[in-house]
Chains A and B, each alone.
Chain A
Amino acid sequence: NAGVMQNPRHLVRRRGQEARLRCSPMKGHSHVYWYRQLPEEGLKFMVYLQKENIIDESGMPKERFSAEFPKEGPSILRIQQVVRGDSAAYFCASSPLGTSGSWLDTQYFGPGTRLTVL
């Protein structure tokens, strides 16, 4: 059973370009969470999605950032017109449970995508 997969693992973009980060949850998991980790900081929640639904996007910046989790295929975190401050590690996690019950105990993280904006 493959774990959570993220690609690319490393992404370099120039200011103003678009970044697309992909996340395939573990088999059987229908809940996906995106986090951002700036250097020397903790993970910050960005968005929680189920298939075809955004459940909680309260952690997403208001502009340039969007996320989706289509019926088929991976979840996508899209950052438009990237700026240097977007450079960070972006982690995706999946869980078979939603945000009820002990979902944190069953949340598995992917290896992350390290975005560098030049």
Chain B
Amino acid sequence: RKEVEQDPGPFNVPEGATVAFNCTYSNSASQSFFWYRQDCRKEPKLLMSVYSSGNEDGRFTAQLNRASQYISLLIRDSKLSDSATYLCVVAKDSSASKIIFGSGTRLSIRP
């Protein structure tokens, strides 16, 4: 079993729709959680950190469920520019080597 698992997609949704995807992690001792966005053939960029209480940034909401060991990302009122691959990142501790990137979920927004 992979340490961080994501549905690879692609999720193909119309503009304006709400879309959500989850990421599961295997190590219950994981401490930090993040969502990154990666455009095709570009570098990953931090989208948002995920806090225990959940957090929102504009149209994006991230949730953490420690009991079930998953994090989620919800995108409301999706835009064409949201088309990208979303990477789930889980860290057991602050060591660089303990940062695990998921392989990503591809999202495609159609007009």
How many angstroms from the CA of A59 to the CA of B95 in the assembled complex? 12
Question: At the interface with chain B, which of A13-21, A63-71, A72-80, A100-108?
Answer: A100-108
Decide if A42 touches B96 in the complex (CB within 8 Å).
Answer: no
Complex interface: chain B residues within 8 A of A48 (CB): 96-97
Decide if B91 touches A56 in the complex (CB within 8 Å).
Answer: no
Decide if A109 touches B101 in the complex (CB within 8 Å).
Answer: no
How many angstroms from the CA of A112 to the CA of B4 in the assembled complex? 23
Counting contact residues on chain A (CB < 8 A from B), the size range is 20 to 34
Decide if B42 touches A42 in the complex (CB within 8 Å).
Answer: no
What are the interface flags for B34-64 relative to A under an 8 Å C-beta threshold, 1 for contact and 0 otherwise? 1000000111111001000000000000000
How many angstroms from the CA of A114 to the CA of B8 in the assembled complex? 22
How many angstroms from the CA of A101 to the CA of B95 in the assembled complex? 10
B73 contacts A by Cβ under 8 Å: no
For chain B, residues 71 to 94, give those with C-beta under 8 angstroms from any C-beta of chain A: 87, 89, 91, 94
